Amino acid sequence: MSYKRFHIETDPAPAKFPMPYKFNPRSNRFRLAKMLLQESLHYRLNKEVILSRPCIYGVFSGRFGGFMPIKEKCVGCMRCVQEYPNIMKVDYSEEYLKLGDSYWTPEAVSTIGYEASTGKIPVKGMGYKGPFTGEGFDSMWTDMSEIVRPTRDGLYGREFISTVVDMGRKVPYLQFTRHPSPITHHPSRILEIPIPILFDALPEKVTNDGIQFVIASASQRLNTYFIARKVEQLQRAFDSGMSTPPVPENWIPLVSSSDLEGTIHESFLKKARIIEYEYDGGEGYKFLREINPQAILSVRIPLGEDTEKIAATLTREGVDILHLCANYQGRAGSMHLKDVLLNVHTHLVEEGIRDEVTIVASGGIISAEHVPKAILCGADLVALDTTLLVALQSEFAGECISHEDCGLRPRKIEVRWGAQRLVNLMASWHNQLIEILSAMGMRDVRRLRGEVGRSMTYEELEEEAFGGIEKVSSSKQ
């Protein structure tokens, strides 16, 4: 077999539901008319010169010579404002500013829309005029000091940059006995996936069968896995005498203790490669291990104060994957997902058991840069939730905070179109991950895990710059 570099095929899948224009270019018609008059006299009615404008996108030169700018074409480059400051004004459109909610900024929604439509990396111009730092992942930067290294030039480089990650339990050490084969402490259960991204379970009220099918289909094309709470639905199908439905191999069934108390269909769980159990303080996951000893066992842990201790206990109990879930805004009480991840990762390292277990992080991962940042904080891979719905153009109908309180309204979509949008989104994120890894001089995303030394946080920089300097109170100033 010849060598083949992992590549995700993209195909344009433009928005089916209208998106608001981002920019609102406006001309002062009185001043524009005055300028046209002056130019007409100066250039002796030379139409070509008089009607030429500095906008290469035809926004400000097309329809009626700039009196009615073509808003949908404006990219916000601000050249017209620089050249005609008294005539042109470019703002964000009002409809655009209404996109999203308090966590999903208009910029985040439109970026996901662009990535899902084209599969390309968004290029942002105009310079950055936003705040220097923010909350959560926005207070963290990656060390790009290797950006000029010629042999690791990202997507088109001569060196291959691997984004493959392992899911499951690794053997901590080998125990040799008199038998010819080594006996291990815990058996190794590992699966490889080509991108460090899973698709997470979504609340039933914000999905429909179409969306669930789109997620299953896209994850199959990407060779990754999706988590879904469908056991009950399958159970109903079995009970009503239907034949066994085909079980997608990349489906991770999400099982709760109430599923275990009911009549759970064991033959279905026996086929799964990975099973996820919703942690509730009990030991139901042990029952799942008995049902299917070959499957990789994941436990979904809502983040709280004792997360590190729970993570260590479950790792010692032989759980293969710890799925740490923040809410849809990346928060767990007063803490952000990145801080909890760092605490759990550090605690497991101190206990000497970090390498045995896989950590999946989810909640608030809404931008391509959040993937390497979560991995830097100690995750092996991430799981996406509301990002999938935004890529599928679900409508915001309120705040999107948690599984129980999610203000997204699903739309009826075509499966082919939706699956292509998710594939495009992942192609764009995969390329951006490679670009970041290349700029950090890394050839393997697995090397990035917990490499906090290759990142900077606002809190650390502030401490470095101002630590030890006494704060001057306002009364002394």
| Positions in the binding site for ligand SF4 (CB under 6 A) | 23, 25, 55, 57, 59-60, 69, 74-80, 90
Nearer CB in complex with ligand SF4: 86/145: 86
Q: Is residue 237 helix, strand or coil?
A: helix
Cβ of residue 30: shortest distance to ligand SF4, in angstroms? Answer: 18
Nearer CB in complex with ligand SF4: 19/78: 78
Query: Distance between CA 477 and CA 245 in Å, rounded?
Result: 73
Nearer CB in complex with ligand SF4: 62/407: 62
Query: Distance between CA 71 and CA 22 in Å, rounded?
Result: 8
DSSP string of 136-193, one letter each residue: GGGGEEE--TTTT-GGG-GGG-SS--B--EEEEE--S-EE--SSSS-EESS--EEEEE
CA 252 to each of CA 229, 247, 279, 283: distance values in angstroms, whole numbers, following the listed order: 9, 10, 15, 19
Nearer CB in complex with ligand SF4: 70/247: 70
Query: Distance between CA 289 and CA 120 in Å, rounded?
Result: 42
Nearer CB in complex with ligand SF4: 42/63: 63
Cβ of residue 78: shortest distance to ligand SF4, in angstroms? Answer: 5
Q: How many CB atoms lie within 10 A of CB 464?
A: 9
In terms of DSSP bridges, do strands 381-384 and 296-302 run parallel, antiparallel, or are they unpaired? unpaired
Cβ of residue 59: shortest distance to ligand SF4, in angstroms? Answer: 4
Nearer CB in complex with ligand SF4: 81/452: 81
Cβ of residue 424: shortest distance to ligand SF4, in angstroms? Answer: 25
Cβ of residue 88: shortest distance to ligand SF4, in angstroms? Answer: 6
Nearer CB in complex with ligand SF4: 76/106: 76
Nearer CB in complex with ligand SF4: 59/295: 59
Query: Distance between CA 201 and CA 208 in Å, rounded?
Result: 12
Cβ of residue 129: shortest distance to ligand SF4, in angstroms? Answer: 14
Cβ of residue 82: shortest distance to ligand SF4, in angstroms? Answer: 9
DSSP H/E element including 346: helix 337-351
Per-residue burial over 368-386, b = 16 or more CB atoms within 10 Å of its CB, e = otherwise: bbbbbbbbbbbbbbbbbbb
Please give the structure tokens belonging to residue 405. 């309180």
Q: How many CB atoms lie within 10 A of CB 420?
A: 23
Nearer CB in complex with ligand SF4: 80/299: 80
Nearer CB in complex with ligand SF4: 89/347: 89
Cβ of residue 46: shortest distance to ligand SF4, in angstroms? Answer: 22
Nearer CB in complex with ligand SF4: 60/279: 60
Tell the residue number behind the tokens 């002796």, with chain if given: 44
Query: Distance between CA 329 and CA 227 in Å, rounded?
Result: 19
Cβ of residue 223: shortest distance to ligand SF4, in angstroms? Answer: 40
DSSP string of 16-79, one letter each residue: SS----SEEEEE-HHHHHHHHHHHHHHTTT-HHHHT--S-TTSTTTSGGGGTS--GGG-----H
Pick from 388, 396, 375: which is nearest to 112 by CA? 388
Instruction: Please say whether the beta carbons of 76 and 126 come within 8 A.
Output: yes
Cβ of residue 35: shortest distance to ligand SF4, in angstroms? Answer: 16
Cβ of residue 66: shortest distance to ligand SF4, in angstroms? Answer: 9
Pick from 248, 233, 299, 275: which is nearest to 419 by CA? 248
Tell the residue number behind the tokens 């005055």, with chain if given: 34
